[in-house]
Structure 1
Amino acid sequence: MRDAASYIMKLPKDEHSAPEWQAAMEALILVAESGGPTMLARIGVMRALNRHVEQTFNPDLETHHWGKRKLKRDQ
């Protein structure tokens, strides 16, 4: 957590004031002060680091286990 806090403090002012980084800092403070879940802080930092990455869904990559099996009655 200390490494994440020092990384955030070294960011330029425009990066530092982005809403994603503000949320990450809030989560880090919550974890540090009240012993909140550390996963919350990790998620906040990861979302801030990847805020410019576009999330896309490719249904062709999705494989379903129920699509391969056939019922006994259908044979």
Structure 2
Amino acid sequence: MGNQILLRHASELTSLHDAATFITKLPKREHDAPQWQAAIEALMLVAERGGPTMMARTGVMRALNRHYVPEFNPKGKEPHWRRRKFKRGQ
């Protein structure tokens, strides 16, 4: 899985060129979203200045998942407020 980015429609982005092509084919309204603009800037930094590729990957992943809102799970890990019981002699 490495540096690949899997898309919903069973394709993947495996290179900076693939990511740039994907972004340029987006509708204008989506292309102008702040998350996509940040992803474009990160891609340009990596391509032009040799920055870390993980920065571009992170920008694209954040833009792809910008509408995802994690659900709050109130039954998650709940703290217990009892006193700890220690073994004798400790």
Normalising by structure 2, we get a TM-score of 0.65
Task: Give ranges in structure 2 of 5+ residues lacking alignment.
Answer: 1-15, 78-84
Identity of aligned residues (%): 68
Counterpart in 2 of 1:66?
A: none
Deviation at 1:57, TM superposition (A): 5.0
User: What letter matches 1:6 in structure 2?
Assistant: T
Question: Which residue is 1:52 aligned to?
Answer: 67
> Higher relative contact order by CA 8 Å / sep ≥ 6: 1 or 2?
1
- Greater strand percent: which structure? 2
Extract unaligned runs of 5+ from structure 1: 63-69
Q: What CA distance in whole angstroms lies between the structure 2 residues aligned with 1:47 and 1:32?
A: 19
- Number of aligned positions between the proteins: 69
Give the 3-state SS of the residue equivalent to 1:26 in structure 2.
helix
| Stretches of 4+ aligned residues off by more than 2 angstroms | 55-62, 70-75
TM-score, normalisation: structure 1: 0.76
Please list, as runs of the form range in 1=range in 2, the aligned pairs for 1:12-23 lying within 5 A after superposition. Answer: 12-23=27-38
Supply the distance in 2 between the matched residues of 1:74 and 1:2 (Cα, whole angstroms): 65
Give secondary structure in 1 for the equivalent of 2:46: helix
Report the residue type matching 1:15 in the other structure: E
